[in-house]
Structures are given as structure tokens and as C-alpha cells.
Structure 1
Amino acid sequence: MDFKDREEFIIKKYQQDEEMMIQLYAQWCLNHGIDPIALYQSAYPGQVQNEALLKAVEEAGQEELAIDSGTLLEVLQVFGNDDLAFAVTEEIQKLHKK
């Protein structure tokens, strides 16, 4: 595998992992009755609509998968989504108060 092939492989793998992170986030939100798009926009108010998130929300409704809150927070932080992880943490705290 030459350098260019290796570089393309790494980029593709990162994109796949990022897509999985978005799917986990969307599923976790839906599992807890939280609007994933609204929460995302509250964490990143200046960003335009996230097409990958819209797709993940559409797909998440098709099957329910249990997502641990701690795991979700770790995954968000690995991808540098600290603002979103903070917003999710606030939602977790609200859920525990109910």
C-alpha cells in the first residue's frame, strides 16, 4: 500500500467512524425523547443544518438500540465535540432529576 492509498484509507475510516458517532448520538437522543437536531443546534448555534445528522435521525427511528450515556459522551469527546458533549451532559442531569 503506497502513501496515497494509505492516506485515502485513513480518511475513509475516519469518515465512517464519524458517521457512527452521529448515529449513536441521534439514537441516544431519540431513546430519551430528546430532539437531536434541536440539541445539536443549541450546542452549535452558528452551524448550518447537518445533513449527516438529518440522515442519522431518519435511520435511527427504524430500530432501537440502547446507548449508554457514558459511552456516548466518550465518543463525542474523541471526535472533539466538546460543546455537544456538554449539552448532552446537561440533558443527562435533567433525566436523572425526573
Structure 2
Amino acid sequence: MLPICDDQACFCGRSVCTAHELRPPAEATNSSTPRQSRIVIEQAKGILAARRDITLNQAFEDLRHHARHHQMLLSKAAGAVIDTGFTPNTGPTRRTPSPADIA
């Protein structure tokens, strides 16, 4: 019996798959890293936008500013927002005025 292709990046379902054998091992294992980084950044943007009542664009700018200022990868700063609850303090918090504020 031939082994089934179990490469998680390959969904060919063939018993013998040669498509991913042509790639170097490092490329095969790192192929989803950019996608994972984007997912982490998008999640952090949503968390910051909700926490600080700001737009997603402003959340991204605040996150990017913090990462650049501290010479760190954007994905690492985003991971800190998700994992530790870190909130970069790089801009005024915008909130929708309540009816009590208007009156």
C-alpha cells in the first residue's frame, strides 16, 4: 500500500505526490508564514479598533508606528496585542459621543 500525501499545504489526495518534493524543505515549511503574519496583524487591528474605538486604518497606523519606533516586526507587535493585551499608546482615543456628552 502506498502512503497518502500528508503534506498539509498539498491537497492533491494522491497516493504518491511529487509536486511538493521539488521544493526545498525550508520553503515547504515557511510557505504559510506570510499568511499567518497577515492574519495576526488583522486580528490585532480588530482588537485595537474595538478597544480604543478607532478605525481599522488608525489601528494599523498605531500598530505600525509602535513597531517602527521600537524596531520590531509588525507581526511581533501584533502578537503582543493578541497574546498579552498590549495596547500601543500612539494616538488619541476616539470615541463616539454619548447623548449625555451632547446635552
| Fold match (TM-score > 0.5) | no
Give the structure, 1 or 2, with the largest relative contact order (CA under 8 Å, sep 6 or more): 1
Q: TM-score, normalised by structure 1?
A: 0.38
Q: TM-score, normalised by structure 2?
A: 0.36
Which protein shows a greater Rg?
2
